[in-house]
Amino acid sequence: MVKRVGVLGLQGAITEHINQLKQLGAEGIAVKTPTDLAQVQALIIPGGESTAISRLIQQIGFYEPIQQFAKNHPVFGTCAGLILCGSSITDGGEKLKPLKLIDIAVTRNGFGRQVDSFETPLDIDSIGQQIPAVFIRAPYIDHVGEGVKILAKIDNRIVMAEHGSVLVSSFHPELTEDNRIMAYFLKKIKEENS
């Protein structure tokens, strides 16, 4: 069965995710209302502007439906999506209401103050070596709570982590030709639900 993955379609990098899902034989669906969540087996919260996405999540009444969805479906937050999935946010994070799907403390524009955007290869345990990662005014994770697995770091900054079926990355895997990270996320969808 084709796996159906929702991409939260309020603001940000939506089509890039849908295209990468297609390359992997999955179907990507823009999720624009809470009822759309019933159509999908997993959800990607994309990059964009976290304060804008947070405002729309609250306006559209998505906050609790996403939290409920995450209890038994995989969720992947990239860049602004990572910020939104986090538990506490500094550096402008007061303006948004994080979904608290994973126990991570996030510095919102962590890399942004030094350099706006850059690309670097990452070696990620259990996914692969030399995976290109694009960072755009990216956040990083200051520290993780119990049970959260750190998957990648740049110097001492955590840039990818997971806890059960919640995966987060500071960078944009959908903006490269390398789809190993998306393939890893798709494996979190249980075959029996597809």
Contact status: 104 vs ligand GLN (CB under 6 A): no
- According to CB under 6 A, which one of 50, 107, 165, 169 is a site residue for ligand GLN? 50
| Closer CB to ligand GLN, 48 or 65, in the complex | 48
- According to CB under 6 A, which one of 27, 49, 142, 178 is a site residue for ligand GLN? 49
Least distance from ligand GLN to the Cβ atom of residue 187, Å: 24
Only one of the segments 69-77, 104-112, 157-165, 177-185 lies at the binding site for ligand GLN (rule: CB under 6 A); that segment is 104-112
Long-range contacts of 131-136 (CB under 8 A, 24+ apart): 131/173, 131/178, 131/180, 131/181, 132/176, 132/178, 133/159, 133/169, 133/171, 133/172, 133/173, 133/176, 134/171, 134/172, 134/175, 134/176, 135/111, 135/159, 135/170, 135/171, 135/172, 136/47, 136/79, 136/172
* Residue 79 falls in the annotated catalytic set: yes
Contact status: 109 vs ligand GLN (CB under 6 A): yes
- For residues 75 and 101, the answer to whether their CB atoms sit within 8 Å is yes
Binding mask 82-101 for ligand GLN (x = CB under 6 A): -x------------------
Contact status: 47 vs ligand GLN (CB under 6 A): yes
Location of structure tokens 């998957």: 151
